[in-house]
Amino acid sequence: MLSIRDDRARTIGLVAVALYIATVFAANWAIDRYGPVSVGFGLMAPAGVYFAGLAFTLRDITHDTLGRLWVLGAIIIGALLSAWVAVDNRDIALASGVAFLVSELFDFAVYTPLRERNWLGAVALSNIVGLVADSILFLWIAFGSLDFLEGQIVGKLWMTVLAVALLTAWRRTSRRSTWAPL
């Protein structure tokens, strides 16, 4: 029987995995729909950059609450949904799936050992490592070019900063001293 704390963590995890899958799907939909968008500082990036940036934090929450297999399953489901949406541009769906999968391996290497010592620091650092790897792989596979690399990094950093700020505020207002297991 699950404790109330375990049940709450599982519920948060299920919401996070659903939102994670939705962000992978939405990132690819946005690219198809809007193409390049401004991310500030005169830089442009494919429109999915904001959704992709948010996905890294949702991935970390899913990892903590449900485990690695849920994350890998979510990546696969997101890539399949992306392929379904990107009917005219399967390269974007393939690039998205490969980039998320590889960046997840980097996330495991960075996030996992740090999460017990400093959860928010682990989220921030793993997001940075993941977003750089994801950006390079995605742009190269989808477009054969790194022309949008600076914009990709800036756009995803905006979302990492926003996510970490919101999580910090949530933890302070809910008086949580640790994240896992919520």
Check pLDDT > 60 for residue 179: no
Q: Is the peptide bond before 181 cis (omega within 30 degrees of 0)?
A: yes
Strand partners, 45: 37
Provide the whole-model pTM. Answer: 0.82
For the chain, percent of residues with pLDDT exceeding 70: 91
pLDDT of residue 146: 97
Query: For residues 44 and 9, which has the higher predicted lDDT (pLDDT)?
Result: 44
**If we measure between CA atoms, which residue out of 97, 66, 67 comes closest to residue 80?**
97
Residue 182 binned pLDDT confidence (cut-offs 50, 70, 90)? very low
Q: 86 in helix, strand or coil?
A: coil
Domain ranges of the chain: 4-173
Return the structure tokens found at 89. 């541009």
CATH, domain range 4-173: 1.10.1760.20
> How confident is the model over 106-163, as pLDDT tens digits?
877 898 889 888 888 888 898 889 889 999 999 999 999 999 999 999 999 999 889 8
**If we measure between CA atoms, which residue out of 176, 138, 163, 179 comes closest to residue 45?**
138
Query: For residues 90 and 77, which has the higher predicted lDDT (pLDDT)?
Result: 77
- pLDDT mean across residues, the chain: 85
Residue 64 binned pLDDT confidence (cut-offs 50, 70, 90)? confident
- CB burial class (10 A; 0-12, 13-18, 19+) of residue 41? exposed
Under DSSP, the state recorded for 180 is T
Asked if residue 33 lies in contact with residue 47, where contact means CB atoms within 8 angstroms, the answer is yes
Q: What is the DSSP string of 96-149?
A: HHHHHHHHHHHHHHHHHHHTTT-HHHHHHHHHHHHHHHHHHHHHHHHHS--TTH
